[in-house]
Structure 1
Amino acid sequence: MASTIPPHFVLVPLSSQGHIIPTSDLACLLAERGARVSLVTTPGDAARLQGVADRARRAKLPLEIVELPFQPADDGVAPGSEGVDTVLRWFQSLYRLAGPLEDYVRALPRRPSCIVSDLLNPWTVGVARNVGVPRLVYATPSCFYSLCDLNVATHKDKPEDEFVVPGMPMRVELTKSTWPLAFFSPPSWEAFLEERNEGLRTADGVVVNSFLDIEGQFAECLEAALAMPVWVLGPFFLNNRDEEALAERTDQYKPSASMDENAVTAWLDDMAQRGVKVAYVNFGTVVGMCAGQLYEVGHGLEDSGTSFVWVVREEETATLEAREWLEALEARTAGRGLIVRGWAPQVAILSHPAVGGFVTHCGWNSLLESVTHGVPVVTWPKFADQILNERLAIDVLGIGAPVSATAPVVGQLSVLRADVARAVSDLMGDGEAAQERRRKAKQYGERAHAAMEKGGSSYQNLTKLVQSFAQSGGNGTRNTTPSIFSTSAMEPQEIQIER
C-alpha cells in the first residue's frame, strides 16, 4: 500500500502588508495541520516575517520563509507607494520574481503539491504551468466582492449608471460612479487586469479568508460561476491564540516611534473599569487624508461626546500646522480620547471589552477582524473592494451604517464634522438600530470563532484542502476533490443571513 506523503504548499503573497500578514496566517494554519509550507517572498518582506519564522521554529512547524532575489529600486517604486500608475509599476516589477520562483521549485528534491498565489500575482500562472504544479488563487477580498467583480466583468458596456449586479443570490444595486474602476479602468491597467482575470479563470481552486456563516451563499455562487472549488478557511488570524503570536504577525510593520501596545491597552483597561464604551477609528494603511478632511474627522469625534481611540497616519500630520492642531485636540479631549500616531495593535484593540464600535475604511482584513470580535461598524470606504465590503456590512450582515448619507464617489467623498459626530453617536448610542447592529455583530463573532474550532466549517474545509493535495506514492499529483458544498465533501449547511 502506497504511503501518504504530507503535502507541500508554496505560498506566494503579494508584497504588501495587507496581503502578507493574512498569507502568513494561512501558512501557519497549513503547517499546524502537518503540511509543509514554503512562504516565498522578497528579502525585505522576509525580514518582516522573522517573527513568524521564529514562532514556527519554536513550535517545530514545517514552515520556512524563502527569499527570492529582488531589487525594486530598478523600477523606481517601493511597497506602499501611492498613485494608480505607481502601484501598477510596483505590481509589474514583481514579475521579475517569476524566474527565481521557477528556479526554486525546480531545485526542490520533490515537486511541491501546490502553489497558492495571491490574485494580484498573475505572473505565477506561467511558473505553475512550466513546472507542472497545480495552482490555487488566494483571493484576498470577500467572496461577496469577488462574485460581484466576476459578474460585472461581463457587463461593462451596460449603458445606465444605476444597475443590478447579475448572478447574485440577492439584489445588489450599484452605480458606475461609486465603483468606477469596474467599468473605466485606466488604459495602463487593462493588460494587468486581464492577466489577473485569466489567472483566476485558469486556477485549480480559490482560497478565501472568510467563513460560511457570513458568506456561504456567495461562496457557493462563486464556486459555481468559476467551476472550481472555493475553499473558505477563515478567519485566518484566529489561529493566533495568544497575544505573543498576534504581536509577531505585525511587529515588523510597526514604526519604532509608535505608541507602546501596553499603553493603549492600559488606557482601554481604564475605560472598561469606568464602564465607558469606546469608538475605534482607523482608516487603514493605504490611503491618507488631506489636512482639511483630517480636521473634520477630529472635530466630529470631539463633537460626538464619545470616547475614542483614533489612529492618525504619520504623513497626515507632516506639517507643523497639522501637528499643532492635533496636539490641541488631544488637550481638549484628554480623558476621553486617545490619538495613536502611525500604527496601532488593531486586533488587540478590537478584542478589548471597552471597544463598542469601529469607524473603518472597510478593507477586508479590518472588516473581518471587526466581525470576528462582534464589533459593529461605521463605514467609510475609499476604493477597490472597500465599496462592496460596505454593502456586505450594511445590506447583508446588518452590522454597519454609512458615515454619510451622500452617495460616495470613490476617493472623493467629503465628510463633514457633523456627519462624523452623528455617525459615531448613532454607532455608540442606545437606539433600536444601534442595539440591533450590536446584537448581530455579537452573533457573527461567536460564529466566526465556532468556524475555526474543531468541527467548524473552516476547520473542516482546511482538513479537506490538505487531504486533497496529499501525495500518494510521490507522484506529486492532486487527488480529485468534489465541490466543498456537495454532500460528498461535507454535510450540507443552511446559511441564513439575517436582514
Structure 2
Amino acid sequence: MELTNGTTRRAHVLMVCVPFPGHVAPFTQLLYHLSCHENLKVTVMGHKARNAEMIKLYEKGEFKGLDIHFETIFADPPVYPSDPKFPIRAALCADQMFVEFEPIRRRLVAEKDNVGAPTSIICDMFLWFTKDAADEMGVPWYPFFSTSQWFGYCAYIGDELARRNFHPHHSEEKDQRIDITGLEFAYVHDIPSEVLEFPEFYAKVTDRSFRATGILCNTAYELEGSAGTLMATKALVQRSGKKNLKGEEAQIIPVGPIAQIPGFGVQYSLRDQPYECLKWLNAHTEKSVLYIAFGSLGNIVPEVFHELALGLEAGGVPFLWALKLTPAQKEELLPEGFLERIQSSGMGFIESGWAPQTQILMHPAVGGFLSHCGWNSTLESLCAGVPMITWPLSADQPMNARFLVDVKKVAVTVLSGSADESVVTHDDISKAIKRLFGDEEGKQIAKNSLELKKLLASLVAEGGSTYKALRYFIQDLVMV
C-alpha cells in the first residue's frame, strides 16, 4: 500500500487475544502459518501469562522469519463466582478488556497513517470492540471463532432462542431436538446457556461479526457434514444485509481443523522435561489405554471424583488420568485405597502436573479419550484418530458431544440421557468404557474415527479446502 507521501506500507497484522488457553492455541498455530511469509510484521496484544508462553516459544526459535512483537496490555480476567465449574465468563472478560483497550484504540487511530501502523486486525471472537477500532483505522477486521461453529451460530441467533424460550435448563422443550437449520442435530438442553445469560454482549458480537471482512472458523464444511452449521451461518450473514467497509458481505473462512497434531498444526511444548506418563504408556499395548482430561478451565464438581475413580477401576482397562490435585485433595476426594490399588496393579497413572495432551493422544497405546469435549480437545482427538467418551460440562461442550456421538458416531457418552454431569454414576462410566473398548460398537467407532482422521488430513493437505482457504486468507493479509 502506498501512502500519500509516497511511502510504501508494509503488511502489519495486529492480533488481539483473550486469556483462555483454548482460544490462544489456534492463534499460536496461525502465527506459524504467517511465519511462512517474508516482509510481514505481527503484533500480539494479550495478557501476561499467555503472552509469556508465546514469547517463550519465540525465544526457543519458533515462528522463524516472522517479525513479531508482543504487548501485554490486559489484566487477569474476572472470576464468575456463581459457577465453580466454569469460573470465567467470556462476556465479563471482554467487558474488562474493552475498558483496558480504550487507550490503545485512541493510540491506533491517532497513528493510523504512520508507515508502521497495522494494516489488518485479527481478534478473538469475543472482542467485538476491536471492530470499531478497525473501522476508524480503515483496515480489514477478522474475528477468529476458535470454538465450534454451533456456538457462534447460537450467539448469532440468541434473540430467537430467547423468544422461543429455548433455555437449556428451564425450557419445557429442553429434551426436544432444535428445529432450527444448522442446529437440528442437537437438543435444547445442549444450547450454551451464556448466549442467553448475556444477550447484550452477544448482540454486539453478532453485529460486528456480520460486518467483518471475514469470519475465521476453526472447522470445515466437510468436517461438519450433515450438521451444516457453517452453511447456516453463511445464509444468516447474507440475510442480515449487513456490509463491511468495502460494502461487501462478511466472508466465512473455514481454516480448520487447526490442532497441535502433525499435519494439522505445529506440535510444540513449553515444558522440556521428560514426561513420566509417556514412559508409562510405553509399557502398554496398542490402543489399550483410556486417557482422561477435562481441559484447562472446566472442572467436574468434587462429588464426581469419587464416582469417576470407581468407574475407571470397574471399566477394566488401563487409564491415564490428568488430574491436577494436591496430595491432600486426592486423599479427600478419591476413594480410600484407590491410589494404592492402581499403583500396585499398574492399571492406572495419575498425571498431577501438566499433561502433554497431544503427545498422549498420538501415542499408539491410547485407544480412547474421556473428555469434557472442549473444541480444542475434540479436534485434537479427531485429528489423532482417537475415539472418545463424552462428558460435557458447559459452553459449547454439550453440542460438541452431541455432534461426536450422533452425527459422526466417533464417541459414546457417560450421561445416559441426562444433561447433568453431577448425576453420573460409576456404573455409567464403566459401561461407557466397556462400550468403547469391549464390543462391536467400539470397533465400529474406532473405524469411524480413523476414517474421519483421513478425511480431515485431506482437507489440510495441499489442494484441500482448508489448505486453500488459509492461503487465500493470508494472501489477502500480505497484499496491502
Aligned partner of 1:136: which letter?
Y
The answer to whether 1:269 aligns with 2:282 is yes
| Contact persistence 1:5–1:470 (CA under 8 A) | no
Match of 1:318 among 306, 329, 343: 329
CA displacement, residues 377-434 of structure 1 (integer Å, 9 cap, x when unaligned): 111111110011011111211111111213204xx542100111110111112x2221
The answer to whether 1:231 aligns with 2:265 is no
The answer to whether 1:138 aligns with 2:144 is yes
Distance of 2:85 and 2:132 partners within structure 1: 28
The answer to whether 1:31 aligns with 2:35 is yes
Q: Which moved more, 1:343-352 or 1:113-122?
A: 113-122
CA displacement, residues 153-201 of structure 1 (integer Å, 9 cap, x when unaligned): 42322255245434425733422x443616741xxx3432332222322
Alpha carbons of structure 1 residues 143 and 179: separation in structure 2 relative to 1, 3 Å: closer
Alpha carbons of structure 1 residues 365 and 336: separation in structure 2 relative to 1, 3 Å: same
Alpha carbons of structure 1 residues 434 and 460: separation in structure 2 relative to 1, 3 Å: same
RMSD: 3.4
Distance of 1:59 and 1:85 partners within structure 2: 30
Distance of 2:259 and 2:399 partners within structure 1: 22
Alpha carbons of structure 1 residues 379 and 394: separation in structure 2 relative to 1, 3 Å: same
Percentage identity across paired residues of the two chains: 23
Alpha carbons of structure 1 residues 32 and 100: separation in structure 2 relative to 1, 3 Å: same
Distance of 2:384 and 2:204 partners within structure 1: 36
Secondary structure of the 1:271 match is coil
The answer to whether 1:434 aligns with 2:455 is no
Alignment map for 1:29-178 (pairs within 5 Å): 29-34=33-38, 35-55=40-60, 57=61, 60-72=64-76, 88-95=91-98, 96-100=100-104, 102-103=106-107, 106=111, 109-151=115-157, 153-159=159-165, 160-162=172-174, 163-168=176-181, 171-175=184-188, 177-178=189-190
| Contact persistence 1:278–1:354 (CA under 8 A) | yes
Alpha carbons of structure 1 residues 59 and 181: separation in structure 2 relative to 1, 3 Å: closer
The answer to whether 1:300 aligns with 2:311 is yes
Could you tell me how far 1:458 is from its partner in structure 2?
Answer: 1.1
Alignment map for 1:97-496 (pairs within 5 Å): 97-100=101-104, 102-103=106-107, 106=111, 109-151=115-157, 153-159=159-165, 160-162=172-174, 163-168=176-181, 171-175=184-188, 177-179=189-191, 181=193, 184-185=196-197, 189-215=198-224, 217-227=228-238, 228-238=250-260, 246-248=267-269, 250-251=270-271, 261-272=274-285, 275=286, 277-314=288-325, 318=329, 320-322=331-333, 325=336, 328-329=339-340, 331=342, 334-409=345-420, 412-429=421-438, 431-471=439-479, 476=480
Aligned partner of 1:181: which letter?
S
Could you tell me how far 1:17 is from its partner in structure 2?
Answer: 1.2
Could you tell me how far 1:47 is from its partner in structure 2?
Answer: 1.4
Alpha carbons of structure 1 residues 89 and 278: separation in structure 2 relative to 1, 3 Å: same
Secondary structure of the 1:460 match is helix
Could you tell me how far 1:340 is from its partner in structure 2?
Answer: 0.8
Alignment map for 1:5-20 (pairs within 5 Å): 7-20=11-24
CA displacement, residues 68-97 of structure 1 (integer Å, 9 cap, x when unaligned): 334449x7899x997668765433221212
How high is the TM-score relative to the length of structure 1? 0.80
Secondary structure of the 1:165 match is coil
Alpha carbons of structure 1 residues 451 and 416: separation in structure 2 relative to 1, 3 Å: same
Aligned partner of 2:26: which letter?
P
How high is the TM-score relative to the length of structure 2? 0.83
Distance of 1:6 and 1:454 partners within structure 2: 28
**Aligned residue pairs: how many?**
451
Distance of 1:423 and 1:326 partners within structure 2: 23
Secondary structure of the 1:230 match is strand
Which structure 1 residue ranges, 5 or more long, are not aligned?
255-259, 477-499
Greater RCO (Cα-Cα under 8 Å, separation 6 or more):
1
Distance of 1:6 and 1:469 partners within structure 2: 11
2:245 maps to which residue? none
Could you tell me how far 1:27 is from its partner in structure 2?
Answer: 1.8
Distance of 1:16 and 1:38 partners within structure 2: 18
| Contact persistence 1:144–1:392 (CA under 8 A) | no
Distance of 1:87 and 1:333 partners within structure 2: 43
Could you tell me how far 1:299 is from its partner in structure 2?
Answer: 0.7
Distance of 1:70 and 1:13 partners within structure 2: 10
